[in-house]
Amino acid sequence: MHIHILGICGTFMGGVALLARAAGHKVTGCDTNVYPPMSSQLEAQGIALTEGYDAGQIGLNPDLFVVGNAISRGNALLEAILERNLPYVSGPQWLADNILQGRWVLGVAGTHGKTTTTAMLAWILEEAGLKPSFLVGGVPQGFGVSARLTDSPFFVIEADEYDTAFCDKRSKFIHYRPRTTILNNLEFDHADIFADLAAIETQFHHLVRTLPRNGLIVANGAEPALDRVLQRGCWTPVDRFNVAEGWAATAADANGAFKVSHGGTPVGETKLDLPGAHNRANAVAALAAARHVGVPIEVGLAAIATFEGVKRRLEVRGRVRGVTVYDDFAHHPTAIAATIEGLRGRVGGARILAVLEPRSNTMKLGTMKTQLPGSLGEADRVFCHAANLGWDAAAALAPLADKARCYDDLGTLVAAVAAEAAAGDHVLVMSNGSFGGVHQQLLDRLRGDV
């Protein structure tokens, strides 16, 4: 079958493309952002890419169009598909019907930590010899690809609560029907599609309604919103983590080592190169989920110790003149605070220069602006790219006083960060987009190349 994917360079749709190609289909696609690394990953698999959404792509005559959720009414190609009554389907629905059917699906849902926890879980199963298929919203360092299809019965998937497509406003995860489900946390986000936290809780409960009685929910016991979701009705056993009576992790020592307990009983020790209590919580959730498919706890602990992380999650992009530049996907205030806290635990009293792009739809709407100063409080300096916002970033960050500066022009921001940075500093860049290649711009300027 020939499928043509609209929005193919998004992390999820790019993963769908890789899985479809691995399943033996001819795959082509289009997007407005056809650039590496996703374009390189796709082209290496023989997937031809087209820039833009010209209606002339109808002439490719695919058997099926797969439509990503970034595609809205008014898109020229989508309108042509609808006018000609051509066959189309959403990415999650195609995945459910053609890849996930009949497999033991392990889904990882939550506002924060989905990508890291999904990657951890896939890695544990890999180290246990189970060769899982997976689809992750990032590129796990140990695998080098965001998606993989094997003959294993197990499929590990990042279960996103964002909507499915222009024609289906349910959350993506409704389609996956996992047997093992991690509910990592739940906060308000995606203000462009959800009116409030209660609306997101409803979608999470729709997910809970699809889970079988022989499944398992691994739920964060410290999250009141998840408690409310489960109290609305639950037909699946629940194993809690991040609480003393469930799965729990101690604080890490200087080498990243920590102990794990279950129900107050010690079960072993491991280490994790990723800093922060949130990452240790991610790890114990992954351990509990892996145990459900038969992975012994000691095998899981050993796997966590070799987990290398995910690209764009506190990823070191380079070191120049004693200045370390990191790339991180954090864009929600809770994630920003956790990322800075984790880095602080690693670097001690060294200066952290936080460079932020409020790029997500929620951040652009200003929904979280009052929470930003508190989330950035542990940074020593804050540089905010304030272009294309519908709110006054300087006013929002005023509680940080002289510690925070805002810039509309990216080049001016880069120059200011480079001028401030000194040997021993850590520059933490946070955005859920490419941020105009700011990481390389900073490294080049620090080298004196520009």
For residue 33, the model assigns a pLDDT of 76
pLDDT at residue 191, rounded to an integer: 67
**Tokens 């009949």 -> residue:** 102
* DSSP label of 28: E
3 phi, psi to nearest 5 deg: -115, 140
Sheet holding 247-249, edge to edge: 147-148, 133-135, 154-158, 104-109, 180-183, 216-220, 238-241, 247-249, 257-262, 265-271
How far apart, in whole angstroms, are the C-alpha atoms of residue 296 and residue 386? 49
CATH fold of 315-447? Protein-Tyrosine Phosphatase; Chain A (3.90.190)
Instruction: Tokens for 371, please give them.
Output: 């929470």
At 432 the pLDDT is: 79
DSSP labels, 121-188: HHHHHHHTT---EEE-SS-BTTTSSSEE--S-SEEEEE---SEEETTEEEEGGGGT--SEEEE-----
Report the pLDDT averaged over residues 269-281: 89
The confidence score (pLDDT) of residue 35 equals 65
309 — pLDDT class (breaks 50, 70, 90): confident
Q: How far lies 313's CA from each of 117, 226, 240, 332, in Å?
A: 12, 25, 25, 14
Which pLDDT belongs to residue 369?
86
Percent of residues, the chain, with pLDDT higher than 70: 98
Same-fold call for 2-93 versus 315-447:
no
168-196 burial, b if ≥16 CB within 10 A, otherwise e? bebbbbbbbbbbbbbbbbbbbbbbebbee
pLDDT score for 421:
94
CA 102 to chain centre: 26
Tokens of 351: 């200066």
**Residue 449's pLDDT band (boundaries 50, 70, 90)?**
low
Three-state DSSP string of 274-302 = CCCHHHHHHHHHHHHHHHHCCCCHHHHHH
Backbone angles phi, psi at 422, to 5 degrees: -135, 165
Against a cut of 0.85, is the pTM above it?
A: no
**DSSP secondary structure, 125-143, as one string:** HHHTT---EEE-SS-BTTT
Burial of residue 267 (CB within 10 Å: 0-12, 13-18, 19+) is middle
The candidate with the shortest Cα–Cα distance to 368, out of 183, 192, 182, 184, is: 192
Give dist(CA 199, CA 77) in Å, integer: 31
Whole-number pLDDT of residue 228? 97
| Lowest mean pLDDT segment, chosen from 50-54, 392-396, 412-416 | 392-396
Nearest C-alpha neighbor of 295 from the set 137, 110, 138, 104: 104
Mean pLDDT of the chain: 91
pLDDT at 127: 97
Judge contact between 271 and 284, C-beta under 8 A: no
Query: Is 80 exceeded by the pLDDT of residue 262?
Result: yes
Domain segments of the chain: what residues? Answer: 2-93, 102-305, 315-447
% of the chain surpassing 90 pLDDT:
70
Q: Residue 450 has what pLDDT?
A: 58
β-pair partners for 393 = none
Options 3.40.50.720, 3.40.50.1820, 3.40.50.300, 3.20.20.70; CATH for 2-93 is 3.40.50.720
At residue 37 the predicted structure's pLDDT band, cuts being 50, 70 and 90, is low
- Residue 178: per-residue pLDDT: 98
Q: What is the CATH number of domain 102-305?
A: 3.40.1190.10
Is the pLDDT at 63 greater than 90, yes or no? yes
Q: Which range is least confidently modeled, 205-214, 350-359, 416-425, 440-449?
A: 440-449
Question: In the predicted model, is pLDDT for residue 415 greater than 70?
Answer: yes
pLDDT grade for 311, boundaries at 50, 70 and 90: confident
pLDDT at 193 (0 to 100): 73
Per-residue model confidence as pLDDT tens digits over 139-198: 888 898 889 999 999 999 999 988 999 999 999 999 999 999 999 989 877 767 778 889
